[in-house]
Every structure is written in structure tokens, then in C-alpha cells.
Chain A
Amino acid sequence: MTKPFGRLAAGSAVVLIALWASLGSGAAGVPRQTKAVPRSSIGAAQRPLRAERNPLRLGRRGYASDRVMVRFRPDVDATYAEAVLRSYGFPAVRRIGHGGVYSVRTTAGATVAQTLFMLRRNPDIDLARPDYRVRLADVPNDPYFQDYQYNLRNRGGILDISPDLQLPMTAGADIKATTAWDSVKGDANTIIAIVDTGVDMTHPDLADKIVSTGHDFANDDDDATDDVWHGTHVAGIAAADTNNNVGIAGVAWNCRILPVKVTDATGEGYYSWIIDGITWAADNGAKVINVSLGGDVADPLLEDACKYAHDKGVVIVAAAGNGGTLGVSYPAAYDNYVLAVAASDYTDTIAGFSSYGPEVDVAAPGVWILAPAPQWYVGSGYLPYLFASGTSMASPHVAGLAALIRSAKPDLSVDDLMKVIRYTADDVNKSVFPGRDDHAGYGRINMARALVPTILR
């Protein structure tokens, strides 16, 4: 097969590549949307986290040792019920829920079993049970996870970007990462190639996740160090070091990163470099390739490169584009080989800057996403993290999910894996566009539905 690079060198047109999030190009003229995290906010950011490791697993019979729950028969009056419970000498009685249910604290020295035995003998009591523990979905200890990573777990409230940027969030507008991590955290042998501006391999939240120094096709060397910021941010979203007490959590908890640099220091590049980057990543162990950049022109050589990687069993995920108009960028638009990702926000609304078209497969959070950035870029006085927006930020969420699915199901074909991601998505804009549509595709990805076993009853 003729090398694509050689053919291009023979005189094919060269197309400049725009980087969406950094250059803000596109018809909509989306401004650069980044915000650094000042060190002055450290106090607010470093709220103490509860240690939530080693959650109880389903099936373990843990229950409170000092209280039980009691339900009276429906015909028993509440006043009478409470008098009955007080007559037992319980130190505390509290009505919970509805329908005559109480939580009672056991008397000193009495076990739960003894208390239940005594209560069950009362003919007015319908049910007496231990107060079982619940299992908390696996939550990482990364300090910025709780308050800033709505994309992974959104509990509602306010996204506190800065004093002049306080954004009300919708609870549940997230990709259900914590529930999914209970089942799958990924495999260190599953590698995500970040085809981008390079990666800051010294960043404390990335250093331990880097497979190798990768390859730089702009400068033709084996050092894919980021000289922009974009690739570092994208890499962090996909697979930052998670549960390491540092920074943020990456989607693909245990998976690792292969940096592939396809732009120069200005953030510009060429199709030939992307073609080389995709091909090289597929030949060097990547199971997933993320391409958070692209162009407006269809190119059969670029498509061939995507087909090459696809046929080698590699899942390719790419940003749909930030034009805010009809027209998905390339390579995202190569439907047969690439998952095209639109951007949603902290209320599960599709971002206005997100390009749309029939090629859009799914959406993922891409508005004010906190992720790593090189220290030299953010400057002293700022933490090495940035809030940024763009379909560039949305795409690595899907790349991370693809890596987790690949870790759990190594025998699943690429086409089937892509379908799993599509068909398990949440139709977040069904009130306007029910079913699959050009703006959100099948919907905002749902990691839990893709990775947690579906229970058949």
C-alpha cells in the first residue's frame, strides 16, 4: 500500500487543521473558553473529603448495631404506635417515610436480634427489620472531583468556576461514572492514544499513566510533549490518574495514555500528520484513539487511515466540531469507522457551539470541563488545571468509556463496541427530538448502562 504521506508529498492539497477549543475557529466564532484555577481558590477547593474507599459490596449483611426499623399494621393509630414503642423503653423513636414506619434505637445492652425477636411478637407490628447499610458508588479521592467534575457525577447545585461565573447544575446531568466504576475500572493494558498537540508527561495527574514518550509527527521525533495545552487537557479527561489524591479523576480509571503529537507549537497541523498519527497509534498498541481536532474537507486518505485502524480493532473517537452549524468535521464524519461526539453541558443541554449532522453518534459533557494543563501554560499563581469548553472536551469522555468497555470485553468487535456506546446513551433532548437526532446522536453517554450488568427479573 502506498504510504499516504508520500502521496501527499507529491502535491496533494494540504488542509490546515483548526483546533476547536484553542483557536476558537468555525463559523460560529466561538471564543476561547478556558479558565484557569487560581491558587487563591485552594482553600475552597480543598474541602475535606470523606474517605469513601472500600465500599460495602452487595450481599454483605451489614446493618446498624443500635437501631431497627418497625412498621405497624395499617389499622394502628400513630399515637398508639408511638406509645407502644415508648413502652418498650427505646431511647429514641423516629417516624420515617410514610405508612407507620419507625426507626427505633435499641436499649442499652440489647442486640438487634433480641430487639427484633421482641418486636415481632407484638401482634400490632407488621414488620420489624434491621436497618441495613447502603452501598455508596465508588467515589475517587481526587480533591477536585466532588465540586468541579459535574461531567462524571452531577449532584446539582452551583458549578463555582469563579466569582463571576456561578452556573446552576442539574442533578443527574452526567455520564454516571461512579456507578460504572463499581463494576469496571479498566485495565492498564488498554491504551488510549491521544492524537493531539502532545501531552505534558510530567504533569502530576498524568505522569504515572503515560505509556511512552509517543511520537511527534510535526517535528518528526519520539517526544510528544505538549507545547500548546490542548492535548494535556484532553488526555486528562480520558485517563487522568484517578484516586491518587491529586487533582481530578479520569474517565478510564486504570487505562493508560499514548501521546501522539500531530500539531506544531501554534496548534496547527496537517491531515498528513493526523493520518500518520492514527496509523502509528494503531500499530503501537492503542486500543482506542481520540482525535479532538479535524478539518472541514473530506479526504479519502484520512478515511483510509481511519479504516486501517478500525480494521485493526481500534475504536476511534473524534470531536464533532465547534461550528455550531450543520456539518460534522473530519475524521468524526467518517461514520463507519469513527464515533462523532457532540458536547452537552451541566444541565444535559446540547451546547450551542456543537456542530451537528447525521454523523453525530453521541454527546458527552463539553462545557467548563476541568482537566490538567501544563504549569508553564497556566502560569505561576494558578493550579495546573483549566476549565475549558468544546467538543474537544466531550470526545475524550467517550474515548475513556470505549477503553473501559474494551477492558471488560476484549472479544467484542469494534463495530459492536461502538453500538454499545450508542445504544446505551440517554436521550437527553427527547422532549424536542425524540429518538436519534443530528444534535445529540443517540444521546449523552451513560457509562453505567454500558458497563453495569442489566438485571433481568
Chain B
Amino acid sequence: MRHRRRRIGEVLAALVAVFAIGGLPGGADAAAIKIEPVAAGLSFENLSRTVVWSGDEGSAKIRANLIGARADLRLGKGATVSLSAGLSLTDFKALTFSALPVTLELGSPTLKGFFLGAEAVVPIHHFSDFEISGTGRIVYSFAMSKTWTLQDFAVEGQAAGNSSWLEAAAGPRVSYLAFGRIVPFVEVWARWLHAGFDMTETLGDLSGSQARRVRGDLSFSVALGADARVTEHIGVQAKVGFLPYAGGVDGAASVGILYKF
């Protein structure tokens, strides 16, 4: 619980920092920062990361689907912050807990939880029909827990798992503005992931627990996306990203449907 409070605190601190970004250029004072809601809608994101859990030699995958509500706020100087929250579905397939009295391995259970997220886009430079922005994002998925009954043992048994993950990313985005209603962009991010999974096992009067961690897994992604204004008030944003790693490529995709005020 303390771990989770710390993580939520980190996310909120990041949100504060994101709000402050809009005021940084030119050192404008707080009174000059206007926060204006510009859109609200739904978002969906699918993310896959190949990681190495501490103590392992081989890699494993974390796959997540995030479904939630999103609100876009415009700050001064053209910066935009997107806040999102919703349901998180994460799969930690093949993660093994070998320090428990009886080794447990996750088959393909999907853990349900919640997520909070914030993403900021801050225009930095305009040239010709291109705009270079600084972008950053933080997502925290938490409250993912599940209980399993351990069957076929001589005594009653149960396993309980609790997990969370946090990803922070930042990097430049280059947008092409000449099309008007559709703004394609390419974005390069450095992505840092921290994940944890705590498993407790109970078999009669035998019990054990083990925590698995991914600490600061760094990856890079290249994403192609587009913001499209479908009608006066309806906008769609879609993005597809590739995260190369030694031996393969992970993927990320997101889509958002927004009502623009």
C-alpha cells in the first residue's frame, strides 16, 4: 500500500511538473498560465514491452491494454496536457516465482486494475510547415490483483498476486502541419519502465512470498501518428510505435476519440 501511495504521488508530481512546463519558456509567472479544457473523450492503448525481471537471465513480456477517459487541457504558449484514467488489463505471461515453496508460474492470466496517465506536448520550434515539440508521458497502472486456488495438493492452497507498473517516456515530436485537418507526426521516445509483482502462496500451514521487480528498464520507440479533425468537434488521434530490442521488436498502439470544445 505504501508502495502504491508513493507511485501515485510520483504521478501527481509528474502532473504538476507537466503543468509547469507550459510556464517555463520565457520564465512567465503563474498568472500568465491559462489552463483551458479543449477536448474530452475516450482512449485505448495497447502496449507490449520485453523486459528482464531481476534475477532472471531470459526475457519475458508484459502486455497491457489501457481503456479510459481522457481530457485535454491547453496551457499557455500552445502546450497541451492530456490526462487519462481508466481500466488497465495487463498480462505477465511466463513470469515465474521459484523462491516460493512450490514454484508458481503465470500462465496467461490477465490482471485487471486501474491506470492514471498524463501526457504533455509542448511546441518548441516552428519552421516551414513543420513543428517540433517536446513530448512526455507518464502512466501508472495499479491495483492489479488476483487470487488463484491451488488444486490437487494434499491440503488447501491459494496464491495471491499483486502487481503494478509505471512507464515514463519523453522525446521530440515532429509534426507536419500543411494538411490542415490532419496532422501527421513522428515521435521518438526514451521509455523507462518499472514493474513489480508480489506473489504470496499458502498451502495449509506452509506459506511463502516473493517479489519480482523490473527496475528501470530503458527502451526506445519510434512512433508514427496523426491527429485528425473529423468534424468541427470530433477529433481522432492514432499512433503506432515500434520498440526495438535485441532479438525483436515490441509494439505500441493507441487511439483516442475526442470531442473538441
A423 to chain B, nearest CB (A): 5
Q: A416-B208, A419-B203 are in contact. Are A454 and B101 (CB under 8 A)?
A: no
| CB <8 Å contact, A457 and B109 | yes
Give the complex CA separation of A452 and B96 in angstroms: 11
B148 touches A456 (CB 8 A): yes
Contact with B along A421-457 (1 / 0, CB 8 A): 0111101000000011000001100000111111111
B107 contacts across to A, CB distance below 8 A = 455-457
Tell me if A159 is interfacial: C-beta within 8 Å of chain B: no
Instruction: Give the distance to chain A from B73, nearest Cβ to Cβ, in Å.
Output: 41
Contact with A along B188-222 (1 / 0, CB 8 A): 00000000000000011110100000000000000
Minimal beta-carbon separation of A453 from chain B (angstroms): 4
Is A56 interfacial (CB 8 A cutoff)?
no
A435–B204 alpha-carbon span in the complex (Å): 13
Task: Confirm or deny: B238 has a beta carbon within 8 angstroms of a beta carbon on chain A.
Answer: no
Q: Which residues of A contact B153 (CB under 8 A)?
A: 423-424, 449
A411 on the B face (CB < 8 A)? yes
Return chain B residues, CB-CB under 8 Å to A455.
104-107
Expressed in whole angstroms, the minimum distance between the Cβ of B96 and any Cβ of chain A is 6
Q: B144-156: contact bitstring with A at CB < 8 Å (1 yes, 0 no)?
A: 0000101011110
Cβ of A416 and Cβ of B108 under 8 Å apart? no
Write the chain B residue with the least CB distance to A416.
Answer: B101
Q: Is there an interface contact between A423 and B203, defined as CB atoms closer than 8 Å? A: yes
Given contacts A423-B154, A427-B154, A436-B154, A457 and B206 within 8 Å (CB-CB): no
Assess whether A409 is in contact with B101, with CB atoms less than 8 Å apart: yes
Q: By the criterion CB–CB under 8 Å, are B105 and A456 in contact?
A: yes
Most A C-beta atoms less than 10 A away, residue of B104, B154, B204: B154
On whether the beta carbons of A409 and B98 are closer than 8 Å, the reply is: yes
Interface residue B103 (Cβ < 8 Å from any Cβ of A): yes
Contact residues, A382-432 vs B (CB, 8 A) = 408-409, 411-412, 416-417, 419-420, 422-425, 427
* A20-54 vs B, Cβ < 8 Å mask (1 yes, 0 no): 00000000000000000000000000000000000
Closest chain B residue to A430 by CB distance? B154
User: Is B159 in the interface zone, CB < 8 Å from A?
Assistant: yes
Determine how close the nearest CB of chain A comes to the CB of B95; give it in whole angstroms: 10
Q: What residues on B are CB-neighbors of A456 within 8 Å? A: 104-107, 109, 148, 159, 161
Q: How far is the CB of B180 from chain A (nearest CB, A)?
A: 42
Shortest CB distance B169–A (Å) = 30
CB pair B205–A454 under 8 Å, yes or no, is no
Do A453 and B154 touch across chains, with their CB atoms under 8 A apart? no
Does B28 sit within 8 A of A, measured CB to CB?
no
Q: Would you call B124 an interface residue if the criterion is a C-beta within 8 Å of the partner chain's C-beta atoms?
A: no
Contact A449 B152 (CB under 8 A): yes
Q: For this complex, into which size category does the number of interface residues on chain B fall?
A: 20 to 34
Q: Inside 8 A of A449's CB, which chain B residues have their CB?
A: 102, 152-153
Among candidates A408, A443, A451, residue contacting B154 with C-beta atoms closer than 8 Å: A443
Minimum CB distance partner of B146 in chain A: A456
Interface residue B99 (Cβ < 8 Å from any Cβ of A): yes
Which of A408, A422, A427, A450 gathers most chain B CB within 10 Å?
A: A422
Q: Which residues of A contact B109 (CB under 8 A)?
A: 456-457
Q: Inside 8 A of B208's CB, which chain A residues have their CB?
A: 416
B98 x A423 contact (CB < 8 A): no
In the complex formed, the residue of B with least CB distance to A183 is B103
Shortest distance in angstroms between A206's beta carbon and chain B's nearest beta carbon? 30
Within 131-172 of B, Cβ neighbours of A (below 8 Å) are at 148, 150, 152-155, 157, 159, 161
Docked Cα-Cα span, A345 to B39, in Å, equals 74
CB distance from B154 to the nearest CB of A (A): 4
Given contacts A416-B101, A420-B101, A420-B102, A454 and B150 within 8 Å (CB-CB): yes
A residues in contact with B157, CB < 8 Å: 423
Select B105's contact among A420, A422, A427, A453, beta carbons within 8 Å: A453
Whether the pair B105, A423 counts as a contact (CB closer than 8 A) is no
A442 and B154 in contact (CB under 8 A), knowing A419-B205, A456-B105, A456-B159? yes
- Give, as a whole number of angstroms, the nearest-CB distance from A446 to chain B: 9
What's the Cα separation between A423 and B151 when bound, in Å? 11
Q: Which A residues touch B204, using CB under 8 A? A: 419, 423
Contact among A411, A416, A427, A453 with B103 in the assembled complex (CB-CB below 8 Å): A453
Interfacial chain A residues near B159, Cβ < 8 Å: 456
B136: shortest Cβ distance to chain A, in Å?
36
**Which of chain B's residues has its CB closest to A411's CB?**
B99
Q: Closest CB of chain B to A371's CB: distance in Å?
A: 27
Are the C-beta atoms of B154 and A422 separated by less than 8 Å?
yes
Q: A409-B99, A453-B105, A455-B107 are contacts. A419–B148 as well, Cβ < 8 Å?
A: no
Which residues of the partner chain A approach B161 to less than 8 Å between Cβ atoms?
Answer: 456
- For the complex, give the distance between the alpha carbons of A443 and B154 in Å: 8
From B98, B101, B108, B206, give the contact of A453 (CB < 8 A): B98
Q: How far, in whole Å, are A453 and B96 apart by their CA atoms in the complex?
A: 8
Contacts of B106 in A (CB 8 A): 455-456
In the complex, what distance in Å separates the CA atom of A204 from the CA atom of B193? 54
Task: Please give, as numbers and ranges, the residues of chain B lying within 8 Å of A454 by CB-CB distance.
Answer: 102-105, 150
- Which B residues lie within 8 Å of A408 (CB)? 98, 103
Docked-complex contact B105 and A425, CB < 8 angstroms: no
Taking the closest CB of chain A, its distance from the CB of B212, in whole angstroms, is 14
Complexed CA–CA distance, A451 and B205 (Å): 19
Chain B positions 82 through 106: 1 when the CB is less than 8 Å from some CB of chain A, otherwise 0? 0000000000000010110111111
- Residue with the greatest number of chain B CB neighbours at <10 A, chosen from A416, A422, A425, A454: A454
A412 to B102, CA, bound (A): 10
Other than the given A419-B101, A423-B157, A423-B206, 10 more pairs (CB < 8 A) read A409-B98, A416-B206, A423-B153, A423-B155, A436-B154, A449-B102, A452-B103, A455-B107, A456-B107, A457-B108
A-B contact pairs, 28 of them (CB 8 A): A408-B98, A408-B103, A409-B99, A412-B101, A416-B101, A416-B206, A416-B208, A417-B101, A419-B204, A419-B205, A423-B157, A423-B204, A424-B102, A424-B153, A425-B154, A427-B154, A436-B154, A449-B102, A452-B103, A453-B103, A453-B104, A454-B104, A454-B105, A455-B106, A456-B105, A456-B106, A456-B161, A457-B107
> Which residues of A come within 8 Å of B, CB atoms?
408-409, 411-412, 416-417, 419-420, 422-425, 427, 435-436, 442-443, 449-457
Which of B's residues lie within 8 Å of A, judged by CB?
Answer: 96, 98-99, 101-109, 148, 150, 152-155, 157, 159, 161, 203-206, 208
